Structure 1
């Protein structure tokens, strides 16, 4: 048999994929970034027009009543003709990697973009669900506050985080985003408006709404806990060599070993290899007069990407600096942690930063808006975007399993409390006895952030993305963890119900008539493509 007979012909699609992969950086710089800039300006203008002429805090009740009328109109339709309800917000505006089929649903318009009230006496802020992290940060920080749980991506919406999940470097003190929610205002399937809190008559709904992804009702406002701040954060960078050493230090600093141990205000680690990590410890601080030269505005366009800046301490040794709080809260925004490096390998070069760094980051909404089915299929098999909640007492096992399956660094580690609220109080099962911090009702878990291109893909080797992720999901359920559901999942319905406790969720769906009105959580969050079948097509390297 000749060589030509042995070698399968390369399709036009594969040739295009190869060309795009080889020239990805140039295409992103000269096509994606400029278009993303104009797209972002258009969206800002659109939001300004909406706020100026459509919305206003004083009109919140009117907007909610309009939403109730939409739901009541849906209820008047014959049951046989009703489609399941969802929001009319386009898929490309969300941070989820999936594309739920909203075209098959009855879409409810939710023009809710306003910050409604800062309640300083209660230490809370009331917002509509479409308010973004960037919006609320710009509003709160000049007033001396920030959200107790504030995500690092400016585009994320507060409502999306409430119906999904959020975690940050303050979470070792307060827990997941849901723990900072004081109240949810929700329109139910019958069009009624309820306010759900931790201890009122709708407490069952309150506990089921997190991780529900809009499958129990329509969120129309949130009351969120805020904390007092100082203008700057003193951040200490601690380079650590040796896996056991940095894992033990993270457990100690987070209070996982001793509930009485004083903990820093902010705590995170970036793992650069199995045996190298930089731990970052932050304390609210005033800047001494003789140390103003140590102020670092890390979000400036010409500055090194934050994770690269942190990595430099592996070479220079332990150090500290003062970061303005708003800069710290959005420190990972420019490089979207380190995802931009997969798009622009030369993006952290000083020449690029000084000349074109102001174009970053590419708008996530624009990237999703321009994602074709072919790009979607190829992307999920060639890249990893996962945040996974895992117990800190098995931190070494997490990192080793991640290296075994993906061989991908850096890895993000955010410690976080997971509370035991009792049986069937939400989709997360109570921490296991051995995972609890002694003398408390919470376990210390962590977000394992895995983003980027696995080494086998970088080296043009075979990589079975589906097999790798399914193995990671098996590991996750075995140790009592949970993947964030914004990312692709690979579980069957039975596997999903083994991982998540849906008992209370199903009771709430029945009690508040969500069954038949909103999609089920599994159906809402599962990939819209057949990941197993698509995965088979992309195992071979291009």
Structure 2
């Protein structure tokens, strides 16, 4: 081992041992200042620059930039990408934008609420937090609304999104009515499932900005009530909680009446809490059961849920906006790996208002060395897998990572036919009887593997490649915001790129935008880096 690598590992070990102190004294205050500056920037933009009525002018500006790129000689041209900095995205990777021709996309406005059609038209940089604050007071929410306030609606459209309403409607892409896109030749098109650009409509999800520049979206919304009545059901026994989830989600019967929201948090292989939520008004005699879970002094939501393992099942009323952003404060349970004492009541009361550390700031301050070390010491994956094999998912997750809690969100995966996007149709035995969809689920695995916590040998590359092989074998898909460990050949076997490649040729994206695999693959050599950090520090 070289002296430099040895020193880096000793420094990394010291930082791991004192992580909580560093985060509280350095990361949280700087993150707060960073967030304040970003909010000031957005306020200035919305106050003095941006306006919905100027949307068409801003789109023309994007078109002009693309047309100028077209006028360059082939020798001068570099592949195009957005000018948005890497640190502003939620992806764990750092795509090398410095080698591309960057196009500015200053599109941050909510454009139109179309109540008769139950849709909302937005620009791509509108965030989940922004649209939630706009819709909920008006009695609506997105049909698929992610829990992380910083996520952008355009980013989810070009990637993927799923939430606890997805057992009713499917992935985020199923709730998109229309995409408005600037293509490689500078033309503006509107793609829907029924018009002449339907091939684009089906290939834009999971394309990660490699087919054109998104300039607007029209999304489905749903009618809500002010509160969600959330029932907590503790379940002992793996088969018991897996069977209950399949039943409640409608995986066994398409005609089953399902709850409005459904999820499970698995705390160990044999114990889980299933949460069943339905829109509700609060009766006067139950006002005391209202729980505003996002208040800074409240227990982290997953810790609050864990308490029900020692109780009989119970329920409470949660304001809908609080429920939608219930995991934002602790970024699910990721903050615990940074601040082990963060859920202590005294810490929450005194410093809880500082949480969460802003994801953009964490990425902004991530050096190549830190990036190389951290991906081998933690797992952050969301994986779409069939609920028919939910037990197998939990088993292999424990075998490879032994990270708990684990998140489970049931979700429909529709059979749109062969070559209709990057997802292959579900296997016949995965389909809900009599329906045109299979019931899958998001398996959310976030945290530090047990072997790393115990400072034992952990081969991150081997573990993730085994997980990817399991995923491919059952017809699943990893979300591509996280690191992948597949070769290009393996990637093209897992995903169906037939229509994607045809669309790239048809709309001149080839030679204008990076290929999907090149866009989402890790910017570091994961195998080589994995060898350096395979042993305990």
Cα gap change, 1:55 to 1:8, in 2 (>3 Å): closer
Counterpart CA distance in 2 for 1:148 and 1:114 is 19
Counterpart CA distance in 2 for 1:495 and 1:278 is 35
Unaligned runs of 5+ residues in structure 2 are none
- Residues matched between the structures, number: 537
Cα gap change, 1:9 to 1:145, in 2 (>3 Å): closer
Counterpart CA distance in 2 for 1:11 and 1:76 is 50
**The one of 443, 454, 466 aligned to 2:449:** 454
Counterpart CA distance in 1 for 2:305 and 2:188 is 47
**The one of 91, 95, 100 aligned to 1:100:** 95
Specify the alignment match of 1:3 in structure 2: none
Specify the alignment match of 2:264 in structure 1: 269
Counterpart CA distance in 1 for 2:11 and 2:410 is 42
3-state SS of paired residue (1:345): coil
1:494-513, aligned counterparts within 5 Å?
494-513=489-508
Specify the alignment match of 2:22 in structure 1: 27
Specify the alignment match of 2:192 in structure 1: 197
Specify the alignment match of 1:79 in structure 2: 74
Counterpart CA distance in 2 for 1:48 and 1:114 is 12
Specify the alignment match of 2:254 in structure 1: 259
Counterpart CA distance in 2 for 1:160 and 1:324 is 26
Displacement of 1:14 in angstroms is: 1.9
TM-score (norm 1): 0.98
Counterpart CA distance in 1 for 2:6 and 2:131 is 48
Counterpart CA distance in 2 for 1:477 and 1:233 is 36
Displacement of 1:376 in angstroms is: 0.1
Counterpart CA distance in 1 for 2:9 and 2:429 is 50
**The one of 58, 63, 86 aligned to 1:63:** 58
Displacement of 1:8 in angstroms is: 9.5
**The one of 80, 84, 89 aligned to 2:84:** 89
Alignment of 1:430 onto 2:430: no
1:329-369 CA-to-partner distances (Å, cap 9, x unmatched) read 00000000000000000000000000000000000000000
Specify the alignment match of 1:303 in structure 2: 298
Displacement of 1:288 in angstroms is: 0.5
1:281-430, aligned counterparts within 5 Å?
281-430=276-425
**The one of 182, 185, 188 aligned to 1:187:** 182
Counterpart CA distance in 1 for 2:503 and 2:180 is 16
3-state SS of paired residue (2:66): helix
Specify the alignment match of 1:174 in structure 2: 169
Counterpart CA distance in 2 for 1:40 and 1:70 is 30
Alpha-carbon RMSD across the aligned residues, in angstroms, is 1.1
**The one of 516, 524, 533 aligned to 1:529:** 524
Displacement of 1:11 in angstroms is: 2.7
1:448-486 CA-to-partner distances (Å, cap 9, x unmatched) read 000000000000000000000000000000000000000
Displacement of 1:316 in angstroms is: 1.7
Counterpart CA distance in 2 for 1:430 and 1:166 is 18
Specify the alignment match of 2:9 in structure 1: 14
1:88-114 CA-to-partner distances (Å, cap 9, x unmatched) read 000000000000000000000000000
Unaligned runs of 5+ residues in structure 1 are 1-5
**The one of 231, 238, 244 aligned to 2:239:** 244
Displacement of 1:80 in angstroms is: 1.6
Counterpart CA distance in 2 for 1:42 and 1:195 is 35
TM-score (norm 2): 0.99
**The one of 192, 205, 208 aligned to 1:210:** 205
Counterpart CA distance in 2 for 1:9 and 1:29 is 28
Counterpart CA distance in 2 for 1:119 and 1:408 is 43
**The one of 436, 458, 483 aligned to 1:463:** 458
1:128-173 CA-to-partner distances (Å, cap 9, x unmatched) read 0000000000000000000000000000000000000000000000
Counterpart CA distance in 2 for 1:10 and 1:426 is 43
3-state SS of paired residue (1:462): coil
3-state SS of paired residue (2:131): helix
3-state SS of paired residue (1:190): coil
Alignment of 1:133 onto 2:128: yes
